[in-house]
Amino acid sequence: MDAGVVAALRRAQRVTVLTGAGVSAESGVPTFRDAQTGLWANFKPEQLATPGAFRQDPKLVWEWYAWRREKLHTVEPNPGHKALVALARRYPEFTLITQNVDGLHQRAGSKRVIELHGNITRTKCFDENIVVPEWTETGEVPPRCPQCRGHLRPDVVWFGEELPDEAINEATRASGACDVFLSIGTSSVVYPAARLSEVALRSGATVVEINSDETPLTRNATFSLRGASGMVLPELLRAVGFA
Ligand code: BJW
């Protein structure tokens, strides 16, 4: 384990973590940029996760999310998610920001999670942009909003849509006010989330990337740990003396 990373985590009082799809990969959730399999092999996620795709074919997009939601019932948090729960206990200020919509951090036991891109288990009205907790199933796909009869959609952030104000504001604040910033399992290509590591670097934080591959962040990060987060994070905790 890199001695510089260990020393930075031992010194730190304020730690901010940004996670992406890679952190859930070892739970069996495909990453966003993995090729899709089965029914969805012919579709690119980037082409389905847009308001335009939903307007054009709401049934297709609803069914894609229904399929992904179903698959979440068969997966569990992995050692990477659990290591972040343990890490949080060690710092007076700890902020966990995720781009993931799968809720696995919360299921692992993380208490406060800033969800930048929403949560796949919530549903909202496409027209009114308000969360809809319940509706009547009539067999129509997607189902209709009980208020306005418009289409329902998952409460996630698609390309070209604004991130929830409170989430991005709090994430930006915590990224600019930390001693160590960990960027874990994200390709660092989707903005504004990718900007958070830049904010941390500019404010003088030690930025540590944990990823099985290189990303555009690799060359700018203070340290880069190459490997699966479900292995690297528990190892890091042991090296720091937290496990
Ligand atoms: C492992 C591993 C293991 C594997 N261990 N590692 C500035 C510049 C350029 C473009 C823009 C910009 N500002 C805005 C844009 C446009 C756009 C954007 O960023 N486009 C880029 C692609 C170029 N951004 C937006 O539209 C955002 N909105 C916005 O900015 O609003 C303002 C605005 C509006 C209108 C016009 C202009 C501005 C919204 C972005 C919403 C992203 N939504 C999605 C879908 C969510 C719902 C769903 O899940 O279906 O979020 S897209 C998708 O990407 C998903 C993810 O959260 C997000 C990030 O992906 P992530 O998590 O990094 O996953 P992968 O798959 O890319 O990478 C996995 C990584 O893990 C890899 O690196 C692997 O190596 C690694 N890995 N296994 C460790 N075991």
Mutate to test the pocket of ligand 1, among 24, 43, 159 (most ligand atoms within 8 A of CB): 159
Does the reported pTM lie above 0.75? yes
pLDDT, the chain, mean: 96
The model's pLDDT over 100-129, given as tens digits with 9 standing for 90+, comes to 999 999 999 999 999 999 999 999 999 999
How far is it, in rounded angstroms, from Cα 182 to Cα 29?
21
Which pair of structure tokens corresponds to residue 38? 């089965």
What's the chain's length in residues? 243
Q: Are 73 and 104 in contact (CB under 8 A)?
A: no
- Taking CA atoms, 169 is separated from 15, 30, 116, 165, in Å, by 17, 28, 10, 6
Q: Averaged over 12-24, what is the pLDDT?
A: 98
The more confident residue out of 98 and 41 is 98
pLDDT of res. 38: 65
pLDDT at res. 43: 85
Whole-number Å distance between alpha carbons of 19 and 47: 22
pLDDT digits (tens, 9 = 90+) for 28-79: 999 988 877 766 777 888 889 999 999 999 999 999 999 999 999 999 999 9
Give pLDDT, residue 36: 72
Of all protein residues, whose CA lies closest to atom 8 belonging to ligand 1?
Answer: 191
Q: Which atom belonging to ligand 1 lies closest to the Cα atom of 21?
A: 62
127-166 b/e (C-beta count within 10 Å ≥ 16 → b): eeeeebeeeeeeeeebbbbeeeeebbbbbbbbeeeebbee
Atom 1 of ligand 1: nearest residue by CA position: 22
- Of 73, 81, 105, 117, catalytic: 117
Query: What pLDDT, on a 0 to 100 scale, did the predictor assign at position 125?
Result: 98
Residue 117 a catalytic site member:
yes
pLDDT in tens, 186-197: 999 999 999 999
Residue nearest to atom 53 of ligand 1 (CA): 32
In whole angstroms, what is the distance from residue 87 CA to residue 73 CA?
A: 26
Tokens of 204: 């003088």
